Chains A and B, each alone.
Chain A
């Protein structure tokens, strides 16, 4: 990599120790902190406003969502919007489909990535490194290039409008394999040797020694995969024709406004419902968020 030195102001090389600071500077710092805090607060309010407004709109009576002057609260707090969503559109189907497809996707991805990651990270076999480079090469191909032939493939398989079509085409990611391989390589070999000495083959070693250690990595991969499936829009749009039967949540949401005009109250209620699982995931994982992003690319689109 580049050997350019980091640009530092002159005089840094002397590397002065920690010296006392005058009171003026301390005050300056506190003032800076206040400014920073105020800026963050304003940014947060502006940023959250659309979400907050959407949440309140989801509880308004239909005719009050679009009115001047706009208000945050409607004349009544309609919880019924959230139940009416389920009768207005096949929303139960969308939610069930989304959960089913996402969870099935997670399971396939975990099994495939863990086994392949183990083969690449812990086992020795001829051609391993070449195959691995080919694996990583597939990461370069964007989804847009793949969706068109993938649709033809689904036609050939007779998979259009099936769950298989929603789950399998994107379940064999080199990304998951790569993530698991990196994790497996970090496990000390002595652990495995001990199992080997006791007579366990690779399969038993994998299942009883390595896999139990891989919990955190599998969790990261599971969350990442779940979000990808849950939010996926372009592929279900293509792979599914009969939205009322095989539609997932994003498809259902997108087709909402085209039916009988726009019911903004219901559309917002539906949008909020679709956000709930992902928001819960993020809040549950908040402690690991920054590190998870840094090491795995969790949340990438």
Chain B
């Protein structure tokens, strides 16, 4: 911590500083209390109530949780869909992102242009990205049109076919999201000590071995960060299935956040939705905690 230089601070000054600090901190504290702390408390309370958007609220204890876990027909499928999406999406995202980050090294001229290109979908509205893909995946869209013309072959209807809908969502999401991890990993790669890699190379290590034994262990903290963040965000997937497949066919691509949204705002059962949101939160915390416990096995920090 930086040292304050030799000037002695008078009591009066310290007292002024405290008052001023109070002034500086008040907007943030008030805002966070009102818009985070109160909602969290309210969410706990709501999850214990039958709480319609309009009308009478009744205390039901843990009935909402019990209903979700035992009798709600869509809850478990939705949870499963989110997990399936995460299991498919996260590894593909990371492999593609790492591959591109490695390829876009100092040897590639114009790599800044490529990076911007791969990063664009990350910052453009996800709704716009989804619409672009909807255009391409439609039965009359680009992919099937090309297939018909070039091979005379009819492709499956990617968005309503039970086997393809989830895959379409995953592919679209990887396209839209991997640029972020690519840049995270690029930043890590650029901080690699060149001497270590060079030394290994001189000792006779070649491409693949350098990658597996040197580069990846050296950037494993960044890979860990990317994995944790990507799993968290993929458990929260919503816009892609909502707009691409509407959760269908049936409920086969409806993720948990869409279940929460529908329960709360379509079926107007806010209490049940709040309970489902807490279960999602518990899942996220649990998965994240597991990752932190497992990191000793594969994440290498330099000190």
Q: Which A positions have Cβ atoms within 8 angstroms of B? A: 1-9, 11-12, 15-16, 18-19, 32-33, 36-37, 39-40, 43-44, 47-48, 50-51, 53-54, 57, 65-70, 111-113, 115-116, 118-120, 123-126, 128, 131, 135, 138, 140-153, 155, 168-172, 174, 177, 185, 188-190, 193, 196-197, 201-203, 206, 227, 230-231, 233-234, 237-238, 249-250, 253-254, 256-257, 264, 267-268, 270-272, 274-275, 278-279, 281-283, 286-287, 289-291, 293-294, 299-301
Given A11-B203, A32-B207, A143-B236: A185 and B2 interface contact (C-beta under 8 Å): yes
Instruction: Collect the chain B residues with CB atoms within 8 Å of residue A2's CB.
Output: 295-296, 299-301
* 7 closest residue pairs by CB, A with B: A172-B31, A294-B187, A116-B28, A70-B145, A149-B42, A66-B140, A119-B24
Let me know if B60 is at the binding interface, CB within 8 A.
Answer: no
> Cβ of B24: which chain A residues have Cβ within 8 Å of it?
115-116, 118-119, 123, 202, 206
B interface SS class: helix
- Is B161 part of the contact surface with A, judged by Cβ < 8 Å? no
Neighbour of A286 across the interface among B5, B23, B107, B115, CB < 8 A? B115
CB contacts between A and B, total, < 8 Å: 349
The answer to whether A151 and B270 touch across the interface, beta carbons within 8 angstroms, is yes
Contacts of B301 in A (CB 8 A): 1-2, 4
| Min CB gap A242→B, angstroms | 15
The yes or no answer to B67 lying at the interface (CB within 8 A) is no
Chain B neighbourhood of A6, CB < 8 A:
196, 214, 217-218, 300, 302
Among B38, B115, B124, B141, the one with the most A-chain Cβ atoms within 10 Å of its Cβ is B124
Question: Which A residues are CB-close (under 8 A) to B287?
Answer: none
Contact across chains for B39 and A150 when beta carbons are under 8 A apart:
yes
Closest chain A CB from B125 CB (angstroms): 5
Instruction: Find the A residue at minimum CB distance from B142.
Output: A70
Number of B residues contacting the other chain (C-beta, 8 Å)?
Answer: 121
| Chain A proximity of B277: nearest CB distance (Å) | 5
**A233 — which chain B residues lie within 8 A by C-beta?**
125-127, 238-239
**Are B20's CB and A37's CB within 8 A?**
no
Residues of B within 8 A of A171 (CB): 31, 35
Q: What distance in Å separates the Cβ of A183 from its nearest Cβ neighbour in chain B?
A: 14
Whether the pair A193, B7 counts as a contact (CB closer than 8 A) is yes
A294 to B103, CA, bound (A): 19
